[in-house]
Amino acid sequence: MQAGRKPGCKKTGGKDFVKDDCRIHRGKRLSKEILAIRKFTQEEFIIRFEKYAFKKIEELNILADDRTISALDMLFCRALFNAAKKGEYYIVRDIVDRILGKPKETVDLGLNITGIKFEVKK
């Protein structure tokens, strides 16, 4: 009997599951920089966004490798530099969403309901 399988249960097909197999994760993984940035608080985001968002790409590249600034600043600069270099807008979108909050999403169901009365009970 294989580990994790109940007694008397047969395998119905397919390959055996291998824990931590990199082939299982089919989607694109987020970079380490983005995962670290997601842990920032809103105030830290605002400070760093005001400080680094409007810098030139060359300056961001230098700051991304600058060992004299904090690790959070380095990660923020590296993420902005990579976003600008690769044209990945979602990195900047995630930063702005973290500062301003995500916009509300509405879905139009295309329903037109008339003739319904509502009563407010006190």
- 112-121 in b/e form (b: 16+ CB < 10 A) is eeeeeeeeee
Instruction: Considering only the C-alpha atoms of the chain, give the largest distance between any 2 of them, rounded to a whole number of Å.
Output: 68
Within-domain flag for 26: no
Within-domain flag for 67: yes
- The number of distinct structural domains making up the chain is 1
pLDDT attached to residue 48: 85
Q: Residue 44's domain spans which residues?
A: 32-100
Q: What angle do CA 100, 64, 44 make, to 5 degrees?
A: 30
Within-domain flag for 62: yes
pLDDT attached to residue 1: 47
pLDDT attached to residue 96: 79
Residue of 80, 41, 40 lying closest to 64 (CA atoms): 80
The mean pLDDT of 104-121, rounded to a whole number, is 69
The region of weakest confidence among 11-25, 73-87, 94-108 is 11-25
Within-domain flag for 105: no
Within-domain flag for 106: no
Within-domain flag for 51: yes
Q: Of all residues in the chain, what percent carry a pLDDT higher than 70? A: 64
Q: Is the pTM of this model over 0.75?
A: no
Within-domain flag for 85: yes
CB atoms within 10 A of CB 94: 18
Name every residue whose Cβ is closer than 8 Å to that of residue 24 and which is 6 or more positions away in sequence: 18
Within-domain flag for 58: yes
The tens digit of pLDDT for each residue in 13-65 reads 776 666 665 555 555 677 777 777 667 677 787 888 889 989 999 999 999 88
Q: Is 40 helix (H, G, I), strand (E, B) or coil?
A: coil
